[in-house]
Structure 1
Amino acid sequence: MNILFVTDHYTPTVNGIVRHIVSIKQELKKRGHTIYIVAPPTRKKIEKEPNVFRLPTAIPFPLKKGDLFTLPFDPRIENKLLKTPIDIVHSHLLLTGFMGIRIAQKKNIPTVVTLHTLWRHYIDWMVPWGEKKIKYRISDWAARNYFNQYDSIIAPSSKAIDALLEAKVKTPVHLIYNGIDIKTFKKAKTMDLSKLTSATKTKRPTIIMTGRIDKGKNADLAIRAIYKLKKQIPEVLFIMVGDGSEREKIESLLNKYNLKNNVIITGFVDQSMIASLNKSADVALFTSDTDTLPTVLIEAAASGKPVVSVYDKAVVDIVRHEKNGYLVPKDTQAIADALQRLLTNQNLRKQYGIKSESIASDFSITKNAIQLEKLYKELTDKNKIPQNRGFFSFLTTKKW
C-alpha cells in the first residue's frame, strides 16, 4: 500500500510525535508498504530523505519557543503528490493536515488522522490568558470542524476519545495505541552513571524522567518533589532526559533548592542513550498532564522499571496503581513519598518492574502497525470518498 503521512512535526525535531512517526514509518516499510511524508522545513543541514517532501515556509510561533506554524499549501509539492501513487492519507496533525485532505479530495482516496495533542492544550499555549470556559468552547468548535473532514480518527488513549466526544466530533473513532520497538529497551545495556556526574562510582538511588522540558510537562513539580525526597534520601540522583523552553526556569530551581549535585539534565540524546539510561535507573517518574499517550512511559515500562506518575487518563493503561507503580495527585509530597517507597524497597521495585515489562508488550510497534494496516484496508476497500464537511472545508476543496 502507498501511504502518505502529513505532519507538522518531523526530524530533526525531537519529541514523542516525531519518534512515533519515525518508528511506525520504519515498521510499515518492513511490512512492504511505501511511505511518503509531507513535513515542515528545517533550518538544520540534514541528509535528504527519500519520499519526504519538505514544505518551504514556516513561521515561528511566538508563544511556544521552538515551535513553528507550517504553511500547508505549496503548488509544486501538491503537483508532485498528485502524480504519485497514493492509496490513503494519514494526518498526524495539524496544519499539514489541510494539504493531506486536499490531496485526498483530488485523488478520491480516504483519510485518517491521529489525535496526538488535545486541541484544548493548543489553545492554552496560544492564548495563555482568558476564561477557560470560553476558550474551550472555541477550541471544541475548531476541533469539531477539523476532525469532521476526515473519514476516520485514531485516538491513542481513552483521554483522547473523551476529548473528541466532548467536542462532539462525528467522525468514527478507533482506539489504537502508539507503539515502540520493545526489544530496543528490553535488551538495552546499563551504563556507568558516574560518567554523567562528578561523583564517585558509588551506586546512587536513581530516578529518570524523559521528555521535553516545556509548559504542561510540570518539570518544576518534579524538582520540588526531589527537594523533599532529598531530605529522606540525601544521595538520590534525578536524571532529566530532554530539553525545552522551561530549562532555564528548572536550572534556577536547582540553584534555589541546592540540587545541583542531585539533578542532571542531559539535553536531547538519541534513542540508544535513552534506552541505556532507562535501564540504569531504579524508578521512572512522569509529571506531565498534557499528553495523550506518553511514549516515554512505555519505554520506561519496557525497560522493566516501576513508575511513579501524576494521575492522568492518558497514563492509566500504562501505569496500574500498586501493580507496576503509583498514580499520585499533582502534589510534591505525594510524589516524594511514592518515590521513597520504591527506592527503599528492592523487592517491590523488582515485582513492579516485571509487571511493567508485561504491560509494555501491549504497546509494541508491530501491534500498532497491524492495527493500522487493518484500518487502512477497511477504508480503502470501502473506497470512501472524503467529504467537504465543516467550516474549514473551503481550505481543502479541490476546486482551486
Structure 2
Amino acid sequence: MTRLEPTPATRDHLLTPGVVLAATGGLVLVVVAAALVQVHRGFLDLEVYAFGARTLLDGGHLYAADDPATGLPFTYPPFAALLMAGLALLPLPVSAALWAATGVLALALVVHVVRPDLAPWAVLGVCVAALALEPVRETLTFGQVNLLLMALVVVDLLGPRRRWSGALVGLAAAVKLTPLVFVVLLLGTGRWADAARAVAAVVGAGVVGALVAPRSSWDYWTSVLADPERPGSPAFATNQSVSGVLARALGGPAPTLLWLVVAGTVSLGVLALGCAWWRRGDPALGVGLAAVAMLLASPISWSHHWVWALPVALVLLERGPRWAAAGWAAVFVLAPFWLLPHRDDAEYAWSPAQQVVGSAYVVAGLLLAAGAALALGLARPARPPSPSADD
C-alpha cells in the first residue's frame, strides 16, 4: 500500500497553536505528577505567592510580615497578589500541580512562537530537553512565575501584531517591574503605540492595586521597592546580575552610584544591540538580547530568572554556529556556581577564577552580546523596514 505524504495544507494544520499545545499534554501530566511528589519539599515561592494572596484577601498589609511557612517576604506589587488570589483558595498540592502545568504550557507556547517552523512533536521534544536547563528546572520546583511572564512578553513581541499589542508586556511589568526593559525596546524599534499601551497597562494595574490595597501600595512604591536586599543578599551565588558580581567582588553590596554606572552602561549597550538586531530584521534575537540586558541590570536576578536562556538557545541553534548554541546551553545545564562554596557568605572568599565561574550566567550573557556585536558589524545591510501600524 502506498504511503500518503501529508499535503502542505496538512502540514499547516499540524503547526496550529492548538495542536502544538495539545502535543505537550503528556509532558504536562509528567510535570503534574512531579509537582505532587515534590510538595513534601515545599514550593517555596508558590507558598509565598499564596501567602501574599491570602493577606490581600484578608485585608492585611502585604509587607508587614514574612510568610510564616517559609520565612520569606512577599516582594511583588499588590496587583500581583491580586492576580494570584486563586492560590489562596486551593490546597498546596492542587495549586502546585496546576501552576506547574501552566508553566509547561507557557514554555511550549514560547517555543512555538520563537520557532514556528517546528512540528508539534519537536516542540514537545524541546520542552522535555528544556527541563535540563537549571533556570527552567528551578522555576518549576520553586513554583516561580518566570515562565508565565516570559510567555506574555514573547507572545506580545514576537507573535502576530494586534490592536492591543504592548498590553501583555505591560501586564508582565505590572507583576514584576523588570520587564519594563521591553518597553524601552519597543521605543527603540519605533513601536510607539505598543509602548504607550504597555505603559498604560502598568499604570492601570498600579491604580487597581492602590484601590484594592492602598496602604500596601503606598509602602511598596515608597519604601519596599527601594530595598535591594529585601529579596535576599545580592552576593548570594545564584544572583546572576551585575549587582551580584560587584557584591561578591567587593565583599559587600556595591555603592549605588557604582552599580548604576556599571550596570547601566553594560545593560544599555546590550539593549542597544537588541534594538539594532530587531531593526535589521531579527526580532527574536533582539528580544533575547533585551532579556539579557534586563537580567544584567536587575539588582537581583536569581538563576531561575534566566529562563530566557531557552529562547536564546533556539535562536542560536537556528541562526548561529552550532558550537555557540551548544556552549550557551551547557552553561545553563551545568550551572557551575552551585559547585562553589555558597553558604554563610562564602562567596566573599572566592578566588578570581571562582568569581568568573561563579558568575557564569553573567559571563555567558556578555559573550552573547559580544558575539552579536561582532556579527552585526559583519552582517549584510538591514532589510527595508516593513509598514508599521504606528506609521
TM-score normalised by length of structure 2 = 0.27
Larger proportion of strand: 1
Larger proportion of helix: 2
TM-score normalised by length of structure 1 = 0.27
